[in-house]
Amino acid sequence: MKPLREVLRGHQVICCVGSGGVGKTTTAAALALRAAMDGQRVLVLTIDPARRLANALGLKELGNEETRIDPALLAQAGLTPRGEMWAMMLDLKHTWDALVKAQARTPQQAQAILENRLYQTLSTAMAGSLEYMAMEKVYEVYNSKRFDLVVLDTPPTSNALDFLQASSRILDVLDSNAMKIVLGPMLKAGKIGFKLLAMPTGLVLRTLARFTGADFLRDLTAFMLAFEGMYEGFKERAGKVKALLKSREAAFVLVTSPNPLTIEEALFFHKALRDDGIATAAVVVNRVQRDPRRHGGPETVGLLQEALRLAQIKDAPAAPPLGALPSGKDPAPPLSERLYQTLTEQATLADLDRREIERLRATLSSVPLYTVPRLRKDVHDLAGLWQIDSYLGEHGGE
């Protein structure tokens, strides 16, 4: 099997997608690190990384700042990349604002939107906003040609469609007929002069105003007015973003855990992508239980006792917790028995994981699949990311 980096070679945009908490951010950062080690100038665009990972990457505060990972930090982890690794945390508000400024016809129009109270709430709260902005940013960076590769981490979405259709959904809300019908009279009034907006007219509006407050309606109308004429620009751009994602420039890596429910979601993701004309380039099954039997270790209590004797480790019962009173119960089992129990449990979990992985492999037979074991500790530094990379090599994991 080819290493994942070879499967992904030649693509300029890599998107890591998958359910919540499976390791998208970790995988995205690990892939970026690998590309940098191989000589590329790469940007990983992360969303809400664990604080400690952000610190390890030298990202101090949220903001749309592309930050180069300090070569000294990499050297501390024993890494000397031939290329450059850059990282950025996506800041929703910044990206929206930049987009509005770029799309507005005049600086005044941009200003009116940016100052609108509704815009300030909506731009960060709207469903799909994050997905849309992530795409926007990727497109902008890709077009700028500042990097050889952009690796995109994605927010946890319940399904892939959310992610791909976020742009059209947002635009649909802004541009919807329902909105125009309800707000029509106010929009008309607004065109004559904002003063007339003071009093909502018409039954629908008066009723609405009673629920939402006239202020809200005024803000909404001003918001719609401010956006006038910008829909086309937005739509065109959203179309280009989508075209980029569907092109050969982009590759999708589907990250999942071996948990049966998550595997189901991964299969759903794969299908949703395919329905949208996008092939899954690779699947990464992350946090797989290691199989204690894989190196042929001692498999019985007797063999474990023997191994402990050889290593001169006392086969003693667990020490009682500090300050515990003698219970009068049977003494805790000796170390060899506890070890045996732990190993048996791990072997059972490993068998379950293996069965799920086989199911996934059989269903997605044409997609290269890599497995990454559950590491002892969370992955929150460069050395940890490099360790993750080592499993994305020739052997496809363990």
Ligand X SMILES: Nc1ncnc2c1ncn2[C@@H]1O[C@H](COP(=O)(O)OP(=O)(O)OP(=O)(O)O)[C@@H](O)[C@H]1O
| CA separation for the pair 90, 353 (Å, rounded) | 33
Given a contact cutoff of 8 angstroms between Cβ atoms, the answer to whether 294 and 398 are in contact is yes
Buried b (16+ CB within 10 A) or exposed e, 212-248: eebeebbbbbbbbbbbeebeeebeebbeebbebbeee
Task: State yes or no: residue 397 binds ligand X (CB under 6 A).
Answer: no
Q: How far is the CB of 25 from ligand X (least distance, A)?
A: 3
Binding partner at 242 among ligand X, Mg ion, none, C-beta below 5 to 8 Å by kind: none
Site for ligand X in 153-192 (CB under 6 A): 156
Spell out the long-range contacts of 209-217 with Cβ–Cβ below 8 A and sequence spacing 24 or more: 216/118, 217/183, 217/186
Task: State yes or no: residue 372 binds ligand X (CB under 6 A).
Answer: yes
Instruction: Please name the amino acid found at residue 325.
Output: L
Closest CA to 236 of 164, 311, 167: 167
Task: State yes or no: residue 19 binds Mg ion (CB under 5 A).
Answer: no
- Closer by beta carbon to Mg ion, 25 or else 95: 25
- Closer by beta carbon to Mg ion, 25 or else 167: 25
In the list 11, 34, 270, 287, the residue contacting ligand X (rule: CB under 6 A) is 287
- Closer by beta carbon to ligand X, 53 or else 241: 53
Task: State yes or no: residue 25 binds ligand X (CB under 6 A).
Answer: yes
Write out the two tokens for 130.
């994050």
Instruction: Please name the amino acid found at residue 91.
Output: D
Binding partner at 235 among ligand X, Mg ion, none, C-beta below 5 to 8 Å by kind: none
Report the 10 Å Cβ neighbour count for 175: 17
Task: State yes or no: residue 12 binds Mg ion (CB under 5 A).
Answer: no
Binding partner at 21 among ligand X, Mg ion, none, C-beta below 5 to 8 Å by kind: ligand X
- Closer by beta carbon to ligand X, 85 or else 197: 85
**DSSP 3-state of 372:** strand
- Closer by beta carbon to ligand X, 109 or else 286: 286
In the list 380, 386, 389, 396, the residue contacting ligand X (rule: CB under 6 A) is 380
Q: Which stretch binds ligand X (CB under 6 A): 204-212, 271-279, 348-356, 375-383?
A: 375-383
Interface mask toward Mg ion for 25-54; x: CB under 5 A: x-----------------------------
- Closer by beta carbon to ligand X, 22 or else 88: 22
Q: How far is the CB of 357 from ligand X (least distance, A)?
A: 14
| Distance set, CA 9 to CA 29, 244, 285, 324, 365 (Å) | 16, 17, 20, 59, 21
Enumerate the β-bridge partners of residue 73: none
Which H or E run contains 258? Answer: none
Location of structure tokens 């990727």? 138
Interacting residues with Mg ion (CB under 5 A): 24-25
Interacting residues with ligand X (CB under 6 A): 20-26, 48, 50, 156, 286-287, 372, 374-375, 378-380
